[in-house]
Amino acid sequence: MTPIANLRWSVAHVPKIDLATANRFKAVGAGIAIHPYTYLSDSTDPNAGPPVRMILDSGVHAGAGSDSAQISTLNPWNMIYFMVTGINAGGHPVNAGQTVTRAQAMRLYTASNGWFFHEEDRLGSIEPGKLADLVVLSDDYFDAKKVPDTAIRKLRSVLTVVDGNVIYNTLPH
């Protein structure tokens, strides 16, 4: 009764997914929503985090986010820090060999998520014809000299624009 061919199926969290399973998801056109909630643990297990690098390398559709404060932190910078460094909130490296670059982590949180909503042509990157949603950050995320890994978690929006309208602004007027 309801066509399902054009639906975009996905799973979330996947802290212990293996390559064979990621490849099966890719084969059926499904995606993986990476929610690295294990950042909040004090675990010392070197493989306690989601295998972000393996997921990306598999080529399966992937995006990143959180489940609000129910299971993860609302602050995306904590999750991005975790994906880039593999270090959890307890200060322990728990994602051995599974870290990603800053650009990859940013893409997972932005442009990659459009696929899950059939809106990759409308959101996630700054291009003509896409929604004018953007943030200006407190510092240069992509410059590791200005923002060392430990400072990623301290980044904040100083200007937020949604649908072309300024909704948050701490910049001098």
- Given a cut of 70, the residues of the chain with pLDDT beneath it are 67-73
Structural domain boundaries enclosing 59: 10-125
We report the CATH number of the domain holding residue 14 as 3.20.20.140
- Residue 37: its pLDDT value, please? 79
- Residue 70: its pLDDT value, please? 59
pLDDT tens-digit map of 37-82: 788 888 888 888 889 999 999 999 999 987 665 566 678 999 999 9
Give domain status of residue 61, yes or no. yes
Give domain status of residue 166, yes or no. no
- Residue 138: its pLDDT value, please? 97
- Residue 72: its pLDDT value, please? 62
Give domain status of residue 99, yes or no. yes
- Residue 36: its pLDDT value, please? 81
Give domain status of residue 2, yes or no. no
The residues that bridge with 100 in the sheet, in sequence order, are: none
Domain count, the chain: 1
pTM, two decimal places: 0.91
Give domain status of residue 92, yes or no. yes
Give domain status of residue 53, yes or no. yes
- Residue 68: its pLDDT value, please? 64
Give domain status of residue 133, yes or no. no
Give domain status of residue 80, yes or no. yes
